[in-house]
Amino acid sequence: MPALNRVQLIGRLGKDPETRFTPNGKKVAHFSIAVSQRWKSGSEMKEYTEWIYIEAWGRLAEVCEQYLKKGSLIYLEGRLKTDKYEDKGETKYSTKVVALLLQFLDKKPAEEPMMAVDEEQADYEA
């Protein structure tokens, strides 16, 4: 049976990406983006912001480290991943988006937005 695990988001970085290397030498970047929703309730404008944790690997992590900073506006495609861990004997879960494609939406008038793709995951299905 076919399956699809794909997320599309547009948001702003809450802080600069943090990068590290795994024990096997692979670079990984972590950051969060704010995705806001606004609506009118009567005569009052309301806003809700969802913070979403993002993880990027390999060359895409390098691009994030080099070009992204707090406040950057990005379009992102990725897949959901839930991690399970133990905290003081209690099982907890954490869900994040693993980035597969990133497009920088901040641009100067004469520039095209830059796009980066995780080449190892480009053909990812499910």
Q: What pLDDT digit, counting tens, does each position of 18-77 carry?
A: 999 999 999 999 999 999 999 999 999 999 999 999 999 999 999 999 999 999 999 999
pLDDT at residue 83, rounded to an integer: 94
Owning domain of residue 63: 7-121
- Mean pLDDT, the chain, integer: 90
Residue 126 lies in a domain: no
Of 108 and 76, the structure prediction assigns the larger pLDDT to: 76
86 falls within a domain: yes
pLDDT value, residue 109: 59
pLDDT of residue 126: 39
Domain tally, the chain: 1
d(CA 14, CA 8): 18
Amino acid at 2: P
Q: What is the CATH number of the domain that holds 32?
A: 2.40.50.140
Specify the pairing of strand 90-104 against strand 18-21: unpaired
Prediction pTM value:
0.82
Q: For the chain, how many helices (H) and strands (E)?
A: 1, 7
